[in-house]
Chains A and B, each alone.
Chain A
């Protein structure tokens, strides 16, 4: 059996990755406005994760991203209390509700979640806007992780500026390489506090291998973007990648274990 056979065989047979650490570093809870999500409920998310062998899911509330951050974040925190081994919240920070910034940070502190999610869907605030600075200052002070929705350089370039200004803040770039691959390469080469997350509905040929080439296998993290996307699809990009099995183990869970706690 060659060095990337164990995971490839699992992909062909569709067997859960027993005995491996598998962590989803990027998923969501809830529904969305512009398309139908057939299975957004918590039980379905757990079922989908179990089929693959995912043990832990780090997620953010779509309700928080699209509108009511207070209610959405509260749901994510409560979900963790209900399923303390399965779900772990990212606290969504909204730049267009500056009056709630401190309350959002306080929720993260009180819940022990040293993880945040930022997404410009619906608000269009660039990630280097001053309304984000209270979050970045907190994250820098507490060494927290910020999962950043990205779609190429329009999102990555401002985060590179922020990575330099707040070097203790850990930045996880969602959908790495989905477009403008070179900006993701530049981001990880210039900033040690930037990491790459893999999920993409478009399974670009060879992208996984290129992400590993850019960042090294220790800075690439597996994510699914459930319930938008299927872990059934996202796992295939890792299992069949032309990299050694020990690198796949790092991407599937060991890196997330180290970064996300």
Chain B
């Protein structure tokens, strides 16, 4: 069967921590997607992480204008600094530009995920059912548990989770189904086969961590997995498309 791959963990732009040989352009991303059979990608801009979210989000909008298979993901900040406008204005602008997800870098950008800091924006994202990406190095498991409890309408997508985290992840999945993970580093032997038996495959999304990683490694994690064709289709892109189609563009 042919899978319609939708990469949930992808970045463009020149990065502060780039290793020689890693690409940064949209043209190279397109070529690598085509080579690996990847149809769609959810993309953040390096400047949204490495410089400042306002600049990076704006640049991403310019880069992706007119594209149909490349979907923007904007970085967030606490509303109190007014760097990204009010929560309502920010989410309205996301809708206007067809942004498909948000991403938080609380460690890198030096802020708290607690409600006294981010609460008003998280409430606006929750009203819109907007997915929020949480890179693995940016939060604690206790913070993730609290976010999933308090904001059940936000699909939280943990990106770059390493293969040694199942003792944290499985207890969380017993409580919360609004927590998703991307596959890019979650590479334990027969992981998807095992999660299928636990009924947890609907929580797993195809992601590559491009351009840090070779995208082909994540592709074969899906294509060779010991799961059904239906489950492969969901992991490859079906679940992410469902999440994005669930965004309430009329909110706020």
Taking a contact as CB atoms closer than 8 A, the residue among B166, B212, B220 that contacts A35 in the complex is: B166
* Most A CB within 10 A of own CB, among B21, B22, B167, B213: B213
- Residue contacts A-B, CB under 8 angstroms, 11 given: A8-B216, A37-B188, A39-B189, A48-B226, A203-B184, A227-B188, A230-B187, A236-B214, A236-B221, A240-B35, A240-B214
The 4 closest A-B pairs by CB, nearest first: A240-B216, A14-B223, A236-B220, A203-B217
Contact B21 A11 (CB under 8 A): no
Contact B214 A203 (CB under 8 A): yes
Contact B223 A48 (CB under 8 A): no
CB distance from A47 to the nearest CB of B (A): 7
Given contacts A11-B223, A203-B214, A240-B214, contact A233 B187 (CB under 8 A): yes
Which residues of chain A are within 8 angstroms of B214 by Cβ–Cβ distance? 203-208, 236-237, 240-241
Question: In this assembly, does A234 line the interface, its C-beta being within 8 Å of a C-beta of chain B?
Answer: yes
* Most B CB within 10 A of own CB, among A14, A201, A233: A233
Distance A154 CA – B24 CA, assembled complex (angstroms): 31
Residue of A nearest to B211 (CB): A205
B179-194 interface bits toward A, Cβ cutoff 8 Å, 1 = contact, 0 = none: 0000011011111111
A214-253 interface bits toward B, Cβ cutoff 8 Å, 1 = contact, 0 = none: 0000000000101111111111110111000000000000
Interface residues of B in 179-232 (CB under 8 A from A): 184-185, 187-194, 209-226, 232
Distance A36 CA – B166 CA, assembled complex (angstroms): 6
CB distance from A33 to the nearest CB of B (A): 11
Taking a contact as CB atoms closer than 8 A, the residue among A12, A205, A231 that contacts B37 in the complex is: A12
What 16 additional pairs, Cβ within 8 angstroms, besides A210-B21, A233-B218? Answer: A8-B216, A11-B216, A14-B220, A36-B170, A38-B189, A44-B189, A48-B189, A52-B224, A203-B213, A204-B212, A227-B189, A228-B189, A230-B189, A230-B191, A236-B220, A237-B217
Taking a contact as CB atoms closer than 8 A, the residue among A226, A228, A237 that contacts B216 in the complex is: A237
Contact A233 B221 (CB under 8 A): yes
Which residues of chain A are within 8 angstroms of B189 by Cβ–Cβ distance? 37-40, 44-45, 48, 224, 226-231
Distance A232 CA – B232 CA, assembled complex (angstroms): 13
Question: In this assembly, does B87 line the interface, its C-beta being within 8 Å of a C-beta of chain A?
Answer: no
A23-35 interface bits toward B, Cβ cutoff 8 Å, 1 = contact, 0 = none: 0000000000011
Question: In this assembly, does A1 line the interface, its C-beta being within 8 Å of a C-beta of chain B?
Answer: no
Taking a contact as CB atoms closer than 8 A, the residue among A12, A52, A205, A210 that contacts B219 in the complex is: A12
Interface residues of B in 7-40 (CB under 8 A from A): 19, 21-23, 35-37
* Most B CB within 10 A of own CB, among A37, A45, A205, A228: A205
Which residues of chain A are within 8 angstroms of B232 by Cβ–Cβ distance? 14
Question: In this assembly, does A18 line the interface, its C-beta being within 8 Å of a C-beta of chain B?
Answer: no
Question: In this assembly, does A13 line the interface, its C-beta being within 8 Å of a C-beta of chain B?
Answer: yes
Taking a contact as CB atoms closer than 8 A, the residue among B22, B185, B188, B190 that contacts A202 in the complex is: B185
CB distance from A198 to the nearest CB of B (A): 11
Distance A37 CA – B187 CA, assembled complex (angstroms): 11
Question: In this assembly, does A51 line the interface, its C-beta being within 8 Å of a C-beta of chain B?
Answer: yes
Contact B163 A232 (CB under 8 A): no
Contact B212 A201 (CB under 8 A): no
Residue of A nearest to B22 (CB): A205
Which residues of chain A are within 8 angstroms of B107 by Cβ–Cβ distance? none
